[in-house]
Amino acid sequence: MKKKILILLFLILAIPVALFKFYSIKVAEKKDYNVQVNLKQGTSLNSVFKKLNLDESIIFRIFLKYEKNSGKNIKAGFYEFNGKYSYEDILQMMEEGKVKYTIITIPEGYSIKEIGKLLENRGIGSEEGLKKALENIKDFPYLTPNGNFEGYLYPETYYLSVDTNENEIARAMTKEFLKKFPPEQYPDKKKFYENLIMASIIEREAQLKEEKPLMASVFYNRLKKGMKLGSDATVNYAYDYSKKRMYYKDLKIDSPYNTYMYKGLPPGPISNPDYNSVMAALNPAVTDYLFFVVTSNGKHTFTKTYKEHLEVQKKTKSN
Protein backbone atom coordinates (compact mmCIF):
# COMPACT_ATOMS: atom_id res chain seq x y z
CA MET A 1 0.00 0.00 0.00
CA LYS A 2 2.81 2.39 0.96
CA LYS A 3 4.55 1.61 -2.31
CA LYS A 4 1.44 2.58 -4.31
CA ILE A 5 1.13 5.83 -2.35
CA LEU A 6 4.78 6.68 -3.05
CA ILE A 7 4.30 5.96 -6.76
CA LEU A 8 1.20 8.15 -6.79
CA LEU A 9 3.01 11.00 -5.04
CA PHE A 10 5.88 10.68 -7.48
CA LEU A 11 3.51 10.93 -10.44
CA ILE A 12 1.72 13.92 -8.91
CA LEU A 13 5.03 15.72 -8.53
CA ALA A 14 6.64 14.50 -11.74
CA ILE A 15 3.83 15.31 -14.17
CA PRO A 16 3.92 19.12 -13.60
CA VAL A 17 7.71 19.09 -13.83
CA ALA A 18 7.54 17.13 -17.08
CA LEU A 19 4.87 19.43 -18.47
CA PHE A 20 6.87 22.52 -17.55
CA LYS A 21 9.97 21.04 -19.16
CA PHE A 22 7.97 20.20 -22.29
CA TYR A 23 6.54 23.75 -22.31
CA SER A 24 10.00 25.32 -21.91
CA ILE A 25 11.43 23.19 -24.72
CA LYS A 26 8.58 24.15 -27.07
CA VAL A 27 8.89 27.86 -26.27
CA ALA A 28 12.63 27.83 -26.99
CA GLU A 29 12.41 25.48 -29.98
CA LYS A 30 13.50 27.19 -33.20
CA LYS A 31 11.70 26.66 -36.48
CA ASP A 32 12.36 27.86 -40.01
CA TYR A 33 10.46 30.97 -41.14
CA ASN A 34 10.46 32.91 -44.38
CA VAL A 35 7.59 35.34 -44.04
CA GLN A 36 6.91 39.06 -43.83
CA VAL A 37 4.10 40.53 -41.75
CA ASN A 38 2.83 44.10 -41.70
CA LEU A 39 1.39 44.97 -38.31
CA LYS A 40 -0.32 48.33 -38.75
CA GLN A 41 -2.13 50.28 -36.07
CA GLY A 42 -5.49 48.60 -35.52
CA THR A 43 -4.46 45.33 -37.18
CA SER A 44 -5.56 42.20 -35.33
CA LEU A 45 -2.70 40.28 -33.72
CA ASN A 46 -4.52 37.05 -34.59
CA SER A 47 -4.17 37.80 -38.30
CA VAL A 48 -0.42 38.26 -37.86
CA PHE A 49 -0.04 35.08 -35.81
CA LYS A 50 -2.08 33.20 -38.40
CA LYS A 51 0.35 34.24 -41.11
CA LEU A 52 3.16 32.90 -38.92
CA ASN A 53 1.22 29.65 -38.34
CA LEU A 54 1.18 30.31 -34.60
CA ASP A 55 -2.56 30.78 -34.12
CA GLU A 56 -3.32 27.08 -33.45
CA SER A 57 -0.44 26.42 -31.06
CA ILE A 58 -1.67 26.01 -27.48
CA ILE A 59 1.87 26.41 -26.15
CA PHE A 60 2.24 29.71 -28.01
CA ARG A 61 -1.09 30.94 -26.66
CA ILE A 62 -0.08 30.14 -23.09
CA PHE A 63 3.30 31.81 -23.57
CA LEU A 64 1.69 34.89 -25.13
CA LYS A 65 -0.93 35.30 -22.40
CA TYR A 66 1.03 34.57 -19.26
CA GLU A 67 4.56 35.59 -20.14
CA LYS A 68 4.05 38.29 -22.77
CA ASN A 69 1.07 40.17 -21.33
CA SER A 70 -1.22 38.96 -24.15
CA GLY A 71 0.90 40.87 -26.68
CA LYS A 72 0.10 44.31 -25.24
CA ASN A 73 3.73 45.42 -25.60
CA ILE A 74 3.99 44.48 -29.28
CA LYS A 75 4.83 47.42 -31.55
CA ALA A 76 3.39 48.11 -34.98
CA GLY A 77 5.66 47.84 -38.00
CA PHE A 78 6.79 45.71 -40.93
CA TYR A 79 8.58 42.57 -39.72
CA GLU A 80 10.62 40.10 -41.72
CA PHE A 81 11.29 36.63 -40.30
CA ASN A 82 13.85 34.88 -42.46
CA GLY A 83 15.67 32.06 -40.66
CA LYS A 84 15.23 30.09 -37.46
CA TYR A 85 13.10 31.63 -34.70
CA SER A 86 11.52 30.43 -31.47
CA TYR A 87 8.25 31.71 -30.00
CA GLU A 88 10.38 33.74 -27.64
CA ASP A 89 12.46 35.20 -30.49
CA ILE A 90 9.39 36.25 -32.47
CA LEU A 91 7.63 38.01 -29.63
CA GLN A 92 10.81 39.66 -28.40
CA MET A 93 11.45 41.10 -31.87
CA MET A 94 7.92 42.48 -31.99
CA GLU A 95 8.10 43.90 -28.48
CA GLU A 96 11.38 45.65 -29.26
CA GLY A 97 9.99 46.91 -32.57
CA LYS A 98 12.78 45.38 -34.66
CA VAL A 99 11.02 46.17 -37.93
CA LYS A 100 12.52 45.99 -41.39
CA TYR A 101 13.39 49.49 -42.54
CA THR A 102 13.46 51.40 -45.78
CA ILE A 103 16.48 53.69 -45.66
CA ILE A 104 16.14 56.96 -47.53
CA THR A 105 18.61 59.86 -47.55
CA ILE A 106 17.37 63.36 -48.32
CA PRO A 107 20.38 65.41 -49.52
CA GLU A 108 21.00 68.91 -48.18
CA GLY A 109 19.55 71.63 -50.36
CA TYR A 110 16.99 69.54 -52.22
CA SER A 111 13.72 71.28 -53.08
CA ILE A 112 10.33 69.65 -52.57
CA LYS A 113 10.24 68.93 -56.29
CA GLU A 114 13.63 67.21 -56.14
CA ILE A 115 12.61 65.21 -53.07
CA GLY A 116 9.46 64.13 -54.92
CA LYS A 117 11.57 62.97 -57.86
CA LEU A 118 13.84 61.07 -55.46
CA LEU A 119 10.81 59.27 -54.02
CA GLU A 120 9.62 58.41 -57.53
CA ASN A 121 13.03 56.97 -58.42
CA ARG A 122 12.92 54.85 -55.28
CA GLY A 123 9.38 53.73 -56.09
CA ILE A 124 7.99 54.93 -52.76
CA GLY A 125 6.09 58.06 -53.70
CA SER A 126 5.75 61.07 -55.95
CA GLU A 127 5.94 64.85 -55.86
CA GLU A 128 2.16 65.11 -56.04
CA GLY A 129 1.75 62.59 -53.23
CA LEU A 130 4.32 64.42 -51.09
CA LYS A 131 2.53 67.75 -51.57
CA LYS A 132 -0.81 66.19 -50.62
CA ALA A 133 0.81 64.64 -47.55
CA LEU A 134 2.13 68.06 -46.51
CA GLU A 135 -1.37 69.50 -46.89
CA ASN A 136 -2.52 66.99 -44.26
CA ILE A 137 -0.08 68.31 -41.67
CA LYS A 138 -2.07 70.53 -39.32
CA ASP A 139 -0.99 72.89 -36.53
CA PHE A 140 2.57 73.24 -37.82
CA PRO A 141 4.11 75.89 -35.53
CA TYR A 142 6.05 77.81 -38.19
CA LEU A 143 4.86 79.95 -41.10
CA THR A 144 3.79 78.09 -44.24
CA PRO A 145 2.47 80.81 -46.60
CA ASN A 146 -0.15 79.34 -48.93
CA GLY A 147 0.64 75.90 -47.54
CA ASN A 148 4.27 76.09 -48.71
CA PHE A 149 6.45 73.69 -46.67
CA GLU A 150 9.60 74.38 -48.69
CA GLY A 151 12.46 74.70 -46.23
CA TYR A 152 10.92 72.52 -43.51
CA LEU A 153 11.76 69.07 -44.91
CA TYR A 154 14.93 68.42 -42.99
CA PRO A 155 17.74 66.73 -44.98
CA GLU A 156 18.71 63.55 -43.16
CA THR A 157 18.95 59.76 -43.48
CA TYR A 158 15.62 58.25 -42.41
CA TYR A 159 14.84 54.69 -41.37
CA LEU A 160 11.21 54.09 -42.27
CA SER A 161 8.95 51.09 -42.54
CA VAL A 162 9.50 49.07 -45.70
CA ASP A 163 6.03 49.93 -46.98
CA THR A 164 6.51 53.63 -46.25
CA ASN A 165 4.51 56.29 -48.09
CA GLU A 166 4.53 60.04 -48.58
CA ASN A 167 2.55 60.66 -45.37
CA GLU A 168 5.11 58.87 -43.21
CA ILE A 169 8.00 60.55 -45.04
CA ALA A 170 6.48 64.03 -44.71
CA ARG A 171 5.84 63.50 -40.99
CA ALA A 172 9.37 62.21 -40.43
CA MET A 173 11.03 65.17 -42.18
CA THR A 174 8.94 67.89 -40.53
CA LYS A 175 9.29 66.18 -37.14
CA GLU A 176 13.08 66.16 -37.55
CA PHE A 177 12.99 69.85 -38.45
CA LEU A 178 11.09 70.66 -35.24
CA LYS A 179 13.58 68.61 -33.26
CA LYS A 180 16.45 70.62 -34.74
CA PHE A 181 14.63 73.95 -34.34
CA PRO A 182 12.19 73.78 -31.39
CA PRO A 183 9.50 76.43 -32.01
CA GLU A 184 9.63 77.72 -28.44
CA GLN A 185 13.23 78.82 -29.04
CA TYR A 186 12.21 81.02 -31.98
CA PRO A 187 9.20 83.08 -30.86
CA ASP A 188 9.42 85.55 -33.78
CA LYS A 189 8.14 83.24 -36.49
CA LYS A 190 8.22 85.91 -39.22
CA LYS A 191 11.88 86.63 -38.53
CA PHE A 192 12.65 82.91 -38.41
CA TYR A 193 10.98 82.42 -41.81
CA GLU A 194 13.14 85.19 -43.30
CA ASN A 195 16.23 83.51 -41.86
CA LEU A 196 15.06 80.18 -43.30
CA ILE A 197 14.79 81.77 -46.74
CA MET A 198 18.32 83.08 -46.37
CA ALA A 199 19.54 79.67 -45.14
CA SER A 200 18.01 77.99 -48.18
CA ILE A 201 19.97 80.32 -50.47
CA ILE A 202 23.19 79.74 -48.55
CA GLU A 203 22.62 75.98 -48.79
CA ARG A 204 22.47 76.09 -52.58
CA GLU A 205 25.34 78.56 -52.99
CA ALA A 206 27.91 77.30 -50.46
CA GLN A 207 29.66 73.97 -50.67
CA LEU A 208 31.94 74.32 -47.67
CA LYS A 209 30.59 74.51 -44.12
CA GLU A 210 33.16 77.07 -43.01
CA GLU A 211 32.14 79.47 -45.80
CA LYS A 212 28.44 79.58 -44.92
CA PRO A 213 28.68 82.41 -42.32
CA LEU A 214 30.81 84.41 -44.78
CA MET A 215 28.28 83.93 -47.54
CA ALA A 216 25.49 84.94 -45.16
CA SER A 217 27.38 88.17 -44.44
CA VAL A 218 27.59 88.94 -48.17
CA PHE A 219 23.84 88.60 -48.69
CA TYR A 220 22.95 90.55 -45.54
CA ASN A 221 25.39 93.32 -46.49
CA ARG A 222 23.75 93.57 -49.90
CA LEU A 223 20.31 93.83 -48.32
CA LYS A 224 21.50 96.58 -45.97
CA LYS A 225 22.87 98.59 -48.90
CA GLY A 226 19.69 98.14 -50.95
CA MET A 227 21.50 96.00 -53.51
CA LYS A 228 19.93 93.03 -55.25
CA LEU A 229 20.99 89.63 -53.87
CA GLY A 230 21.96 88.45 -57.36
CA SER A 231 21.87 84.74 -56.53
CA ASP A 232 21.99 82.25 -59.41
CA ALA A 233 20.43 79.66 -57.12
CA THR A 234 17.22 81.65 -56.64
CA VAL A 235 16.85 82.05 -60.40
CA ASN A 236 17.49 78.36 -61.00
CA TYR A 237 14.74 77.58 -58.49
CA ALA A 238 12.35 79.32 -60.87
CA TYR A 239 13.55 76.82 -63.50
CA ASP A 240 13.03 73.88 -61.08
CA TYR A 241 16.82 73.53 -60.99
CA SER A 242 16.83 72.32 -64.58
CA LYS A 243 19.80 74.51 -65.50
CA LYS A 244 23.23 72.94 -65.17
CA ARG A 245 24.75 76.36 -65.79
CA MET A 246 23.19 79.80 -65.73
CA TYR A 247 23.60 82.12 -68.72
CA TYR A 248 22.78 85.83 -68.95
CA LYS A 249 19.67 85.03 -70.99
CA ASP A 250 18.41 82.83 -68.16
CA LEU A 251 18.59 85.78 -65.76
CA LYS A 252 15.83 87.56 -67.70
CA ILE A 253 13.05 85.29 -66.43
CA ASP A 254 10.33 87.36 -64.76
CA SER A 255 9.88 85.60 -61.43
CA PRO A 256 9.72 86.82 -57.82
CA TYR A 257 12.57 84.35 -57.26
CA ASN A 258 14.78 86.24 -59.73
CA THR A 259 17.00 88.15 -57.30
CA TYR A 260 18.81 89.78 -60.21
CA MET A 261 15.54 91.46 -61.15
CA TYR A 262 13.88 92.07 -57.78
CA LYS A 263 15.34 93.44 -54.56
CA GLY A 264 15.04 91.74 -51.20
CA LEU A 265 14.54 88.11 -50.30
CA PRO A 266 12.51 85.82 -52.58
CA PRO A 267 8.99 85.04 -51.30
CA GLY A 268 9.95 81.67 -49.85
CA PRO A 269 12.81 79.20 -49.30
CA ILE A 270 14.40 77.75 -52.43
CA SER A 271 15.60 74.53 -50.79
CA ASN A 272 15.58 72.54 -47.58
CA PRO A 273 18.72 73.60 -45.70
CA ASP A 274 20.66 71.76 -43.03
CA TYR A 275 21.41 72.92 -39.48
CA ASN A 276 24.68 74.63 -40.40
CA SER A 277 23.04 76.76 -43.08
CA VAL A 278 20.29 77.89 -40.72
CA MET A 279 22.86 78.70 -38.03
CA ALA A 280 24.85 80.73 -40.60
CA ALA A 281 21.72 82.70 -41.48
CA LEU A 282 21.04 83.31 -37.78
CA ASN A 283 24.67 84.12 -36.96
CA PRO A 284 26.39 85.58 -40.03
CA ALA A 285 30.05 86.56 -39.97
CA VAL A 286 30.79 90.26 -39.52
CA THR A 287 32.48 91.41 -42.74
CA ASP A 288 32.42 94.13 -45.39
CA TYR A 289 32.18 91.58 -48.20
CA LEU A 290 29.70 92.22 -50.99
CA PHE A 291 30.80 89.69 -53.61
CA PHE A 292 32.04 86.13 -53.95
CA VAL A 293 33.15 83.90 -56.79
CA VAL A 294 34.03 80.21 -57.00
CA THR A 295 37.78 79.80 -57.42
CA SER A 296 38.52 76.09 -56.94
CA ASN A 297 37.05 72.88 -55.53
CA GLY A 298 33.92 74.60 -54.29
CA LYS A 299 35.93 77.26 -52.46
CA HIS A 300 34.94 80.90 -52.88
CA THR A 301 36.95 84.09 -52.84
CA PHE A 302 35.16 86.95 -51.07
CA THR A 303 35.72 90.59 -51.99
CA LYS A 304 34.55 94.00 -50.80
CA THR A 305 34.37 95.88 -54.11
CA TYR A 306 33.08 95.16 -57.57
CA LYS A 307 36.51 96.01 -58.97
CA GLU A 308 38.13 93.34 -56.80
CA HIS A 309 35.38 90.93 -57.81
CA LEU A 310 36.10 91.47 -61.52
CA GLU A 311 39.81 90.98 -60.94
CA VAL A 312 39.21 87.65 -59.20
CA GLN A 313 36.87 86.57 -62.00
CA LYS A 314 39.47 87.48 -64.62
CA LYS A 315 42.19 85.63 -62.74
CA THR A 316 39.99 82.58 -62.26
CA LYS A 317 39.12 82.41 -65.97
CA SER A 318 42.76 82.72 -66.99
CA ASN A 319 43.64 79.76 -64.78
Q: What is the DSSP string of 274-309?
A: -HHHHHHHHS-------EEEEEETTEEEEESSHHHH
Does the pLDDT of residue 56 top 90, yes or no?
no
The Cα–Cα gap between 198 and 202 comes to: 6
108 and 93 in one domain?
no
Please provide the average confidence, as pLDDT, over all residues in the chain: 89
302 in a structural domain: yes
147 and 136 in one domain?
yes
Cβ pair 289, 271 in contact under 8 A: no
Q: Among 113-117, 158-162, 169-173, which is the least confidently predicted range?
A: 158-162
Amino acid 136: pLDDT: 94
Confidence of residue 1 (pLDDT cuts 50, 70, 90): low
User: Which three-class secondary structure state does DSSP give residue 317?
Assistant: helix
Does the pLDDT of residue 316 top 80, yes or no?
no
Cβ pair 273, 202 in contact under 8 A: yes
The Cα–Cα gap between 220 and 213 comes to: 10
35 in a structural domain: yes
Q: What is the domain range of residue 84?
A: 22-99
Amino acid 2: pLDDT: 56
Amino acid 36: pLDDT: 86
pLDDT greater at residue 59 or residue 24: 59
Confidence of residue 78 (pLDDT cuts 50, 70, 90): confident
228 in a structural domain: yes
Q: Which of 48, 83, 99 is the last residue of a domain?
A: 99
146 in a structural domain: yes
92 and 115 in one domain?
no
pTM: 0.76
Amino acid 13: pLDDT: 53
Report pLDDT digits (tens) over 231-279: 999 999 999 999 988 899 999 999 999 999 999 999 999 999 999 999 9
Q: Which CATH number covers residue 37?
A: 3.30.1490.480
Best CA proximity match to 52, nearest among 71, 25, 73, 24: 71
The Cα–Cα gap between 27 and 91 comes to: 11
Once rounded to an integer, what is the mean pLDDT over residues 126-148?
95
229 and 284 in one domain?
yes
